[in-house]
Amino acid sequence: MSHTVKLDILSDPICPWCYIGKTHLEKALAAIPDHPFVIEWHPFQLNPDMPDAGMDRREYLETKFGGKEGAVRAYAPVVEHAHNAGLNINFEAMSRTPNTLDAHRLIHWAGIEGKQTEAVDALFRAYFVDGRDIGNHEVLGDIADSIGMDAAVVQKLLKTDADREDIAKRDTHSREMGVNSVPTFIVANKHAVPGAQPPELWEQVIREIMSQLETTSA
């Protein structure tokens, strides 16, 4: 199919719904391999005010959800949906909640090399499966290396302010456009699809788009 359709995804590497939503979308894309989507990932920080060094995860959850019971209640649906999506989120291993600005910088640099989705994948895995601190520069260098980027260059860039302001501006711009939660998927620059939608919904969306493209090119 000659026509392509832009799919912009606003996401944060520490957002479990983003991980689940990406997994659902990928099932639909695998089911319809000639889909027209061209995907680009965009920065959105769940916690833009997080200290640079991040914070203890238990403290973060209890502060955010008003105590341990609140945190457990808030995460129950995450556990269920992750399990249904075939994901094994290792909550036990996650000890810190990082500031994700540097992770978003890595995604941006990976995009320049055409490795954006691989970077997003690797960050999700590092955080949700391996329990690694994805705010840590060593960890980000490792992740860069694992997807074929030059870890030394990434480490050097992380020590500078390169693209920090750009990421913050893009995040602010999304909020000004009315995005207040992630994942948010924007189809063809105009239709916003919020949340971790099931693969069946994505298959339906893709088929509708494909039939519209056929109609317009006929």
What is the chain's pLDDT, residue by residue, as a tens digit (218 residues)?
A: 458 999 999 999 999 999 999 999 999 999 999 999 999 999 999 999 999 999 999 999 999 999 999 999 999 999 999 999 999 999 999 999 999 999 999 999 999 999 999 999 999 999 999 999 999 999 999 999 999 999 999 999 999 999 999 999 999 999 999 999 999 999 999 999 999 999 999 999 999 999 999 998 87
Question: Is residue 155 domain-resident?
Answer: yes
Q: What is the pLDDT of residue 1?
A: 46
CATH number at residue 170: 3.40.30.10
Question: Is residue 200 domain-resident?
Answer: yes
| Cα 207 versus chain centre, distance | 24
Q: How many domains does the chain have?
A: 1
Q: What is the pLDDT of residue 218?
A: 72
Contact between 47 and 98 under an 8 Å Cβ cutoff? The reply is no
Q: What is the pLDDT of residue 217?
A: 83
CA distances to 22, 136, 163 from 108, in Å: 18, 17, 8
Domain holding 140, by residue range, is 5-50+99-217
Q: What is the pLDDT of residue 2?
A: 59
Question: Is residue 59 domain-resident?
Answer: no
Question: Is residue 72 domain-resident?
Answer: no
80: its two tokens: 């269920």
